[in-house]
């Protein structure tokens, strides 16, 4: 019985970790877009990801200085 309970807990932990790893672009985008205007600014991006991610912002945002949901999806490999 204890062995079955421990196995069940281990499986639950793996499933939870998998769910976190598979968070979709829309969920992450909503968390970063703190003013919910549909655009992630560099300030929002860095507040969420930290200053170490400063070089990633222009790769995702392109020339317009903001990240859209479609750009986030493309960056995360989700297509459109």
**Residue given tokens 């297509």 in the structure block:** 79
Do 29 and 69 touch, CB atoms closer than 8 A? yes
Least confident of 3-7, 64-68, 76-80: 3-7
Do 6 and 13 touch, CB atoms closer than 8 A? no
Q: What is the mean pLDDT of residues 33-55?
A: 94
pTM: 0.69
* Domain boundary assignment for the chain: 24-80
pLDDT tier at 55, thresholds 50, 70, 90? very high
Q: What is the pLDDT of residue 79?
A: 63
78 vs 1, which has greater pLDDT?
A: 78
Count of C-beta atoms within a 10 Å radius of residue 42: 14
CATH code for residues 24-80: 1.10.238.10
The helix (H) or strand (E) run that includes residue 66 is strand 66-67
The helix (H) or strand (E) run that includes residue 41 is strand 40-41
């Amino acid at each position: 019985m204890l062995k079955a309970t421990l196995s069940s807990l281990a499986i639950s932990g793996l499933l939870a970790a998998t769910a976190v790893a598979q968070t979709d672009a829309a969920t992450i985008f909503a968390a970063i877009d703190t003013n919910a205007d549909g655009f992630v600014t560099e300030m929002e991006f860095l507040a969420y990801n930290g200053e170490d991610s400063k070089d990633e912002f222009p790769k995702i945002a392109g020339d317009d200085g903001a990240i859209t949901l479609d750009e986030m999806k493309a960056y995360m490999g989700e297509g459109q």
